[in-house]
Amino acid sequence: MCGIAGIWGPQPDQVGLMKAACERMRNRGPDSRGIWQDQESAITLGHVRLAIVDLSEAGAQPMLSACGRYALVLNGEIYNHLEVRSKLELAGLAPNWRGHSDTETVIAALAAWGVEPTLKAMTGMFALALWDKTDKLLTIARDRFGEKPLYYGYVNRSFAFGSELKAMMPIPGFGASIDRQALTLFMRHNYIPAPWSIYEGIKKLTPGTYLTLGQAKATGLQMPEPVVYWSARDRAEYGRNHPLSFDSDAQAVDSLESILSRAVHGQMMSDVPLGAFLSGGIDSSTIVALMQQQSDRPIRSFAIGFDNPAYDEAPYAEAIAQYLGTRHTSMYVSAQDALNVIPSLPDMYDEPFADSSQIPTALVAKMAKQHVTVALSGDAGDELFAGYTRYQRVERWWQQCQRLPAAIRKPLGELLLASNYLPGSGAWRGKLAKLGDMLRATNQGDFYRQFVSYWLDPASMVIGGHEPETAFGASFAGQPIEAMMELDAITYLPDDILVKVDRAAMAVGLETRVPMLDHAVYEFAWQLPRSYKLRDQQSKWLLRQVLYKHVPANLVDRPKKGFAVPLAAWLRGPLKDWADTLLDPARLRQQGLFVVEPIALKWQQHASGQRDWSSQLWGVLMVQAWLDTYHNGQTPGVAT
């Protein structure tokens, strides 16, 4: 696990810029730093290393190929790299290996097979950049699901990229203007979806793609389009059209256990201490159970507990850990412990990000890092096995709405939407308004977008804002639950869940791995008929059966809590003064980003206890805290 950066173009002192970039990313790679330059072509690559596999200098980066033609920087882990090595050796294409790092395997494969065949052959999480010294080509690529981040764009007529935005900030001219389209999307989702970033001209490389630039494009302003080498959406469609059949439920259970066990085994590859997050839920408990089954010693497991029992899952995790025999660590944190994390969030995420579960995620990552360098998680179980409770609720709403004549749906939606602005308290007003907004939707994707939205009309909230088209505007085949799972797999999962975990963990130099995002597991899950995901109103049916082979059902069967904090109460209590300052109408008007009145109204209603607007306000607060961290509270590109 590492951080990568690079710059190609006419910048003075590129090496100095890369040193500054690496310094800003040192949390991602505290073990060493490397810089390589091709002076003739004016390209410099930078790398910071968190050594996980092959701790020797043989695994150091940037790495040159044995033939000397290619230079590579890689962030991530390739779990099947020994298998790739064997294929190269059998074909007579392997070099004389210098060590046993996966980076050396990858650059050998790239030199032998080329970019796309190598990307398709790899199982793992990664972001990489490859420089071809002969053809003067730069290729950047990202893993299938976007577990590892990669930003890129033109800055001051040079092409630049980095694992984090802060790595690109030393380049003169970086971050001149905020992208108001991206900010509008942020107000919708509380995260900024790929390919947008908070800065104009800077993009995120979308998952499962690579981009290649030649000499003519290095200092130009026309960006080539990324090439798709693997598509989560295409694989979901294939799975729906090619469902698996089993002779019995037992055979289905064994099949899932087998494919998940292989993924877990591959992701336990490490030359440093390794453990797992254990919340006590279905997903993390399954991963920990399969890890312990394959280990000859107790694995390390970690959980966070809270003083407030409404948010505390630590006792469940402790019971499961005791049953499985893991070496478990729980840390109970107070509200103040959690609140102390908040000042570090803008630098941790380096663009606005407002999933409030980022707070406990940061706490459990910090605690785990005291004992291990790698931690596996149960993320993606909800998206693969229909785990979110909202899926069944939205499906019911969609089916009921479809029974209404089209001529009635929109006027009724407008009427319900207006209820949001009636005076007085009551959470029912917000629910009616959201339902009203959903009634105006024209397809399943738009219907679901309205359900998961924070601000229902975000373009009206951002001055000069316009909401660009996203995956939610596309048509989706199949039943509503399938459409929602597919949308989450290409939006919420990579742009919220994986961002949240990667940044929180890498802030403390902890590598996280997600076995359920082995692409073989994803493809298998999408070939499962619906009855194996939802049965008798129970979600994750097949995944539960795998877990029940290792843990008694009574230890894990309980209502889903999620990884939440009492944000609404905090904003009325210990965070009230902080929020008051950041939401001050005079400050907001001076910045010229937001329409002030709706924010001021929601803050007044929330602070007085009339309504719970904590999720909506948290997004605005994270923008304000980010501006304070990187721009002294001002808006880039706007005179004040």
Half-sphere exposure for 323 (CA within 13 Å, toward CB): 22
Tokens 């010294």 map to which residue? 133
- Domains of the chain, with CATH numbers? 2-230 (3.60.20.10), 241-386+488-555 (3.40.50.620), 389-487 (no CATH), 567-631 (no CATH)
Query: Rounded CA gap, 70 and 418, in Å?
Result: 60
The pLDDT of residue 419 is: 66
Query: Rounded CA gap, 118 and 103, in Å?
Result: 12
Order of strands, sheet of 300-306, starting from the edge strand that comes earlier in the sequence: 327-333, 300-306, 274-277, 374-376, 511-513
446 is in an annotated binding site: no
- 640: confidence class by pLDDT, cuts 50, 70, 90: very low
Q: Choose among 224, 517, 478: nearest CA to 384.
A: 517
Across the strands, what pairs with 43?
A: 8, 38
Tokens 């590492």 map to which residue? 2
Q: Cis before residue 62, ω within 30 degrees of 0?
A: yes
Which H or E run contains 35?
Answer: strand 32-38
330 is in an annotated binding site: no
199 close to 177: Cβ distance less than 8 angstroms: yes
Instruction: Compute the average pLDDT of residues 441-451.
Output: 86
Annotated catalytic residues are 2
Q: Report pLDDT digits (tens) over 314-360.
A: 899 999 999 999 999 998 888 888 889 999 999 999 999 999 999 99
How far from 215 is each of 9, 31, 133, CA to CA, in Å? 9, 33, 11
Query: Rounded CA gap, 202 and 165, in Å?
Result: 9
- Residue ranges of alpha helices (H) inside 268-404 are 282-293, 314-324, 335-339, 345-349, 358-369, 381-385, 389-402
Instruction: Compute the average pLDDT of residues 460-480.
Output: 89
pLDDT at residue 423 greater than cutoff 60: no
Q: Report pLDDT digits (tens) over 23-58.
A: 999 999 888 899 999 999 999 999 998 878 766 787
- 253: confidence class by pLDDT, cuts 50, 70, 90: very high
SS3 assignment, position 153: strand
517 close to 232: Cβ distance less than 8 angstroms: no
The pLDDT of residue 58 is: 78
Across the strands, what pairs with 210?
A: 141, 227
Query: Rounded CA gap, 29 and 61, in Å?
Result: 11
16 is in an annotated binding site: no
Structure token pair of residue 397: 């709403």
Q: Report pLDDT digits (tens) over 256-311.
A: 999 999 999 999 988 889 999 999 999 999 999 999 999 999 999 999 988 777 77
Instruction: Compute the average pLDDT of residues 409-417.
Output: 79
The pLDDT of residue 421 is: 56
The pLDDT of residue 125 is: 97
Handedness of CA 262, 265, 269, 275 (dihedral sign): positive
304 is in an annotated binding site: yes
SS3 assignment, position 374: strand
Better pLDDT: 422 or 578: 578
pLDDT at residue 639 greater than cutoff 50: no
Report the share of the chain in percent with pLDDT over 90.
78
The pLDDT of residue 335 is: 82
Average pLDDT taken over every residue of the chain: 92
pTM above 0.85, yes or no: yes
- Residue ranges of alpha helices (H) inside 370-497 are 381-385, 389-402, 406-418, 427-439, 444-452, 480-490, 492
Q: For residues 72, 76, 82 and 85, what is the CA-based torsion angle, rounded to 10 degrees?
A: -20
Q: Report pLDDT digits (tens) over 236-249.
A: 999 999 999 999 99
3 close to 164: Cβ distance less than 8 angstroms: yes
Instruction: Compute the average pLDDT of residues 164-168.
Output: 96
Query: Rounded CA gap, 494 and 231, in Å?
Result: 13
DSSP letters, 104-133, are HHHHHHHHHH-HHHHHHH--EEEEEEEEET
